[in-house]
């Protein structure tokens, strides 16, 4: 079964709007796990506009499932990951000030950069994943970085799903097969939701994990957190 990792950035956004501890981010992570989530994802950015670096430290000894830290590997981020030692680190090519992660790595141009960072994380027992699109070149060069996994950037899939699901998923199916042929495991994330998740899962062989935040938190405003997580888990069965 594909694991569901809940990205709790949006919960931190709501909390930060009032400058206090409501909602309580740590308790929210605990509740996600209690209701069946198999992982917690956070993405601290340099401006700490949602998840703060202190949040990561606070969650480190609380998360009992899989803790996944996403972000651009600058020095501060690398040190944070090495100090907290999550189950997984997902490297994302976010430029400063970006609203959300909307592109994968150019794994040819950035190969040496990624290779060095991945080697350091893996030597510390941290599983690595890199955020990539479905371009054949980027999949092929991912293998040379030494990464354990790739996270397929599913924004284009979500954008085209309603018009033609079969066409929307085709490149992702091919990319996953290519990655698997190199021994790379598959994660996915970005704009996956209750409408498009099950179809994606059923067309991606070996999909190990999806990271979902914005849509899941938005659904929870209407359905409640427990029911929302249950429905997302049902999509992954």
The structural domains of the chain, ordered by start, are 3-235 (3.20.20.70)
**Alpha carbon 166 to its chain's center:** 24
DSSP 8-state assignment for residue 193: -
Residue-wise pLDDT for 168-222, tens only, equals: 999 999 999 999 999 999 999 999 999 999 999 999 999 999 999 999 999 999 9
Contact 48, 7 (CB under 8 A): no
pLDDT along the chain (237 residues), means of 10: 96 94 97 98 93 97 97 95 98 70 83 97 98 96 97 97 98 98 97 98 98 98 98 97
Angstrom distance (rounded) from CA 211 to CA 187 = 8
Element (H, E) at 52: none
Angstrom distance (rounded) from CA 1 to CA 71 = 26
Encoded tokens for 36: 């069946």
Question: Catalytic annotation on 70?
Answer: yes
Q: Given 50, 66, 151, 190, which residue is catalytic?
A: 190
Give yes or no for a cis peptide into 112 (omega within 30° of 0). Answer: no
Question: Catalytic annotation on 120?
Answer: no
Q: Count other Cβ atoms within 10 Å, centred on residue 82.
A: 14
Q: Given 33, 43, 66, 209, which residue is catalytic?
A: 43
Question: Catalytic annotation on 214?
Answer: no
Entry pTM: 0.94
For the chain, what is the radius of gyration of the CA atoms?
17
Q: Given 38, 66, 70, 209, which residue is catalytic?
A: 70
């Amino acid at each position: 079964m594909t694991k569901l990792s809940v990205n709790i950035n949006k919960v931190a956004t709501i909390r930060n709007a009032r400058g206090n501890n409501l909602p309580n981010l740590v308790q929210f992570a605990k509740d996600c796990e209690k209701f069946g989530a198999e992982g917690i994802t956070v993405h601290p950015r340099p401006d700490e506009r949602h998840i703060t670096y202190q949040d990561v430290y606070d969650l480190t000894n609380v998360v009992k499932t899989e803790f996944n830290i996403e972000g651009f590997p600058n020095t501060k981020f690398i040190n944070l990951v090495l100090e907290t030692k999550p189950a997984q680190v997902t490297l994302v090519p976010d430029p400063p000030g970006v609203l959300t992660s909307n592109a994968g790595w150019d794994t040819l141009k950035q190969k040496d950069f990624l290779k060095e960072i991945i080697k350091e994380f893996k030597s510390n027992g941290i599983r690595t994943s890199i955020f990539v699109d479905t371009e054949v070149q980027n999949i092929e060069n991912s293998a040379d970085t030494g990464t354990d996994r790739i996270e397929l950037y599913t924004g284009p899939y979500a954008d085209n799903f309603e018009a033609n699901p079969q066409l929307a998923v085709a490149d992702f199916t091919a990319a996953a097969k290519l990655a698997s042929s190199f021994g790379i495991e598959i994660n996915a994330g970005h704009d996956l939701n209750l409408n498009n998740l099950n179809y994606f899962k059923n067309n991606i062989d070996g999909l190990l994990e999806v990271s979902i935040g914005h849509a899941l938190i938005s659904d929870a405003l209407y359905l409640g957190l427990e029911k929302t997580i249950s429905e997302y888990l049902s999509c992954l069965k």
